[in-house]
Amino acid sequence: MAEQTLQLPDQRPIGSFSIASIWSSLVAHKWFFLTVVVLLGLGAWQGIRVLLGPAVVVDRVATGRLIETVVASGHVETPYRVEIGSQITGTVEDVLVQEGERVTKGQPLIALEARELKAAVVQAQGAVAQAEARIRQLEELTLPSAKEALTQAEATLLNARQTFDRTAQLEHNGYATRAALDDAQKTLDVARAVKRAAEFQVYTASPGGSDYVMAQTQLNQARANLDTAESRLGYATIVAPRDGVLITRSVERGTVAQAGKALLVLAPIGDLQLVLQIDERNLGKLALGQTALASADAYPDRRFSATVTYINPGIDISRATVEVKLTVPEPPDYLRQDMTVSVDIKVAAKDNADVLPTRSVHDILSGQPWVLTVRNGRAIQHPVTLGLRGNSQMEILEGLDVGDIGVPQSSGVLAGQRIRPVLP
């Protein structure tokens, strides 16, 4: 019997057939498998994130120097301002300066119409000249004439006395009549009266006499009127009372200037002041002599020093603020009147303080501040005691130690939530 052999199609090993098939399937469906792998990875990552919590950037308590400052804004002004006005009523003829101009003491600022004032000065000068002429008339004419008259009267009196004596002797001896003696007596009396009148004329025309005193009084009055007229004429030119900068001008040509009304405002050159309105809650931290750094809002990169020199004893009840003034000993050139400034007043400083960024401290003003810290992977609320308060950091006196973590308020983390703290 013939032996028959059954031939099967070409066969490969089962193992080789499975690997090739799988590889072919992977290549054919690579995007599908890749998507599955990515989804599995995301699922695993989300699972870990749920178990461990989200990663949160946190702050850490550290040791360092802390400076506490009181920050406020205000404006620039001089310790005082001078309002410049007219002392008389008149029409403004010319304004010689512009607002913002620097002026020196005695510099003309405003000119008023002065024709009537000049005429008054001329009239007063004439009165002075007339009074001086009257004095010269007394000294050069009246007094010498009176002295000559007195000399003549004395000579006449002497002659009349001698004539009377001779006539009396003759009448006694019987050689002259009684009538002759009476005539001699009459002549003597007239000579005496003329002498007394001449002496009176000399006295009144001499310094201290009535005519001279009257003439001198008229001269003094005339000179006083001249001084008044010249002073009023001087008022027609308004000058700077001291060196400074004109910060306000409210006058133009043709304006009728009223006496006492401010036409210009002058800021005298000298120390500048920074005037601040500070919250009354910071009043206990302030003291005279404290130093500060200030900057004008127009020049924020340029800082200059100032010193607290005045703290108002009263409180502005409507705004709950206290007025504080700081003196700038070396004001920079760019500072202008009423310029807005920002000021940091140094009220306290401490070395080796335990500090934490302010952003991680909650309820600072409530009196019961707390920090969201991390224990065993969870955020927990922890009360703290605060010390100095800087611009961006605060001193932790109690509640946290150096190296402890604080979760920033902006993170949105709640107490009890799992987180993974990450240091910046």
Spell out the SS3 assignment of 383-407.
ECEEEEECCCEEEEEECCCCCCEEC
The pTM score is 0.54
Question: Which residues, 6 or more positions from 95, have their beta carbon under 8 angstroms from its beta carbon?
Answer: 109, 110, 111, 249, 251, 252, 253
The list of the chain residues with pLDDT below 50 reads 1-17
SS3 content of the chain, % helix, strand, coil (to 5): 40, 35, 25
Task: Give the integer Cα–Cα distance in Å for 257 and 90.
Answer: 5
What pLDDT shows up at residue 7? 43
Contact 101, 261 (CB under 8 A): no
Cβ count within 10 A of residue 216: 16
pLDDT digits (tens, 9 = 90+) for 62-111: 998 888 888 999 999 887 788 899 998 899 999 999 988 889 999 999 99
Q: Which helix (H) or strand (E) holds 203?
A: helix 178-205
Task: Give the integer Cα–Cα distance in Å for 348 and 353.
Answer: 12
In our burial notation (b when 16+ CB lie closer than 10 A, e otherwise), range 14-53 reads eeeeeeeeeeeeeeeeeeeeeeeeeeeeeeeeeeeeeeeb
Question: Which residues, 6 or more positions from 79, have their beta carbon under 8 angstroms from its beta carbon?
Answer: 270, 271, 273
Task: Give the integer Cα–Cα distance in Å for 341 and 274.
Answer: 8
In our burial notation (b when 16+ CB lie closer than 10 A, e otherwise), range 312-347 reads eeeeeeeeebbbbbbbbeebeeebebebebbbbbeb
Q: Are strands 55-57 and 420-422 parallel, antiparallel or unpaired?
A: parallel
| DSSP-derived secondary structure letter, 36 | H
Distance between start and end Cα atoms, the chain: 93
Contact 389, 68 (CB under 8 A): yes
> What tokens does 280 get?
């009354």
Q: Which long-range contacts (CB under 8 A, 24 or more apart) does 219-224 make?
A: 219/128, 219/131, 219/132, 219/134, 219/135, 221/131, 222/124, 222/127, 222/128, 222/130, 222/131, 223/128, 223/131
What pLDDT shows up at residue 209? 84
Task: Give the integer Cα–Cα distance in Å for 273 and 339.
Answer: 11
Cβ count within 10 A of residue 101: 14
Contact 387, 397 (CB under 8 A): yes
Task: Give the integer Cα–Cα distance in Å for 402 and 276.
Answer: 37
Sign of the alpha-carbon dihedral angle for 19, 24, 27, 32: negative
What pLDDT shows up at residue 191? 86
Three-state DSSP at 271 gives coil
